Amino acid sequence: MTGETAWLLWMAGGTLLVAAVTAVVLLALPGPARVPLERRRPDGLAQGALSRAADLATGSVQGLIGERPGAGGELLERAGVKQPLQNLIVLTISAMIAAGALGVLLGGVLLGLVLVVAVPVVVWLGLRMMVSRRESAFADQLDETLQIIAGSLRAGYSLPQSLATVALETEVPTSVEFSRIVNETRVGRDLDLSLTDTARRTRNADFFWVAQAISINREVGGNLAEVLEGVGSTIRQRAALRRQVKALAAEGKLSAFVLGALPFVLFAAMWILNRAYVTLLFTTLPGVVMLVAAIVLLAVGLLWLSRMIKIRY
């Protein structure tokens, strides 16, 4: 082993260790403090060096993104992630460093660069998957939610009490969203705005109808329980249609997933089994041309498949 190789291995191993320790410390950190730090540390114990480094990193990222994190914070909110955006950014950067160092150790600089690029893509895809599952769960629970509200109103409860009942008796994410609605109205926010924001966060057109029905009923009066039962009947029919479309499109989605993942799986297998054969794609002009053409055609094919399996109704 030459001196240059040994130095590269030591540098990659050290970087991997620092990134892993930083990620562990950030994951172990509690959420936003609800009491002052001095009250939580009555014995005056000082923070460790790793905790101070993690706080410095998150504080620097928070200074860069400002008070309003924008689309990233909205995505975390829609996914139901409790960690602040700056923590996720620092964790992602740490994972990128660790993945790059691991790739350099296992397969060289090229593999390290591929893993570095793959980390934020995987994080983004994971968040999008969490958002999709959360929105689907909220939509599936909406029928039960309307039944609880209508039943509570018929039992003599007021509308705020009915919403509080939903927050207590339903499952996540409906319970979380309605708890937020109740808490916002208790501190003085208008109920119509809270309901509209919930419909926007969950991307649920059916709940937007519910919010509009409640808003109109509060202005003109009438039997809100009967109105919600009528809206619930329409939503049940839409939900049945949505489940039918989902079942009919399941085979197409599975085919699209397999066809989209197959090139990457084959490339990884060939990289492990016969690296010299795959290296020609990067070291020769015809290989580079074929690689670029394959990437372009793969992108077009994935876009075409995504449009074929995305059914609007």
Measured CA to CA, the distance from residue 212 to residue 287 in angstroms comes to 58
- Give pTM, 2 decimals: 0.67
Q: Over the chain, what is the mean pLDDT? A: 78
Is the pLDDT at 50 greater than 60, yes or no? no
Quick: pLDDT tens for 117-172. Answer: 888 888 888 889 999 899 888 988 888 898 899 889 888 888 889 999 999 988 88
Measured CA to CA, the distance from residue 86 to residue 69 in angstroms comes to 9
Matching residue, tokens 């993104």: 65
| Least confident segment among 40-49, 73-82, 193-202, 209-218 | 40-49
**What percent of the chain stands above pLDDT 90?**
7
Is the pLDDT at 70 greater than 80, yes or no? no
Is the pLDDT at 53 greater than 80, yes or no? no
Task: Give the count of beta carbons closer than 10 Å to the beta carbon of residue 135.
Answer: 17
Structure confidence at residue 238 (pLDDT)? 82
Is the pLDDT at 17 greater than 60, yes or no? no
Q: How far is CA 161 from CA 62, 165, 168, 247, 266, in A?
A: 38, 6, 11, 37, 57
**What percent of the chain stands above pLDDT 70?**
76
**What band does 183 get if pLDDT is binned at 50, 70 and 90?**
very high
Domains detected in the chain: 3-32+46-107 (no CATH), 133-248 (1.20.81.30), 250-309 (no CATH)
As a whole number of Å, the end-to-end CA separation of the chain is 63
Radius of gyration of the chain (CA): 26
| Least confident segment among 32-36, 52-56, 106-110, 171-175 | 32-36
Structure confidence at residue 45 (pLDDT)? 44
Structure confidence at residue 42 (pLDDT)? 47
Mean pLDDT of 282-310: 84
Structure confidence at residue 249 (pLDDT)? 80
Structure confidence at residue 110 (pLDDT)? 75
Mean pLDDT of 97-103: 84
**What band does 13 get if pLDDT is binned at 50, 70 and 90?**
low
Measured CA to CA, the distance from residue 167 to residue 148 in angstroms comes to 10
What size, in residues, is the chain? 313
Measured CA to CA, the distance from residue 105 to residue 255 in angstroms comes to 35
Measured CA to CA, the distance from residue 85 to residue 293 in angstroms comes to 37
The structure tokens listed for 286 are 């015809």
Task: Convert 68-112 into a string of H (helix), E (strand) and C (coil).
Answer: CCCHHHHHHHHHCCCCCHHHHHHHHHHHHHHHHHHHHHHHCHHHH
Mean pLDDT of 232-246: 83
Q: Are 100 and 112 in contact (CB under 8 A)?
A: yes
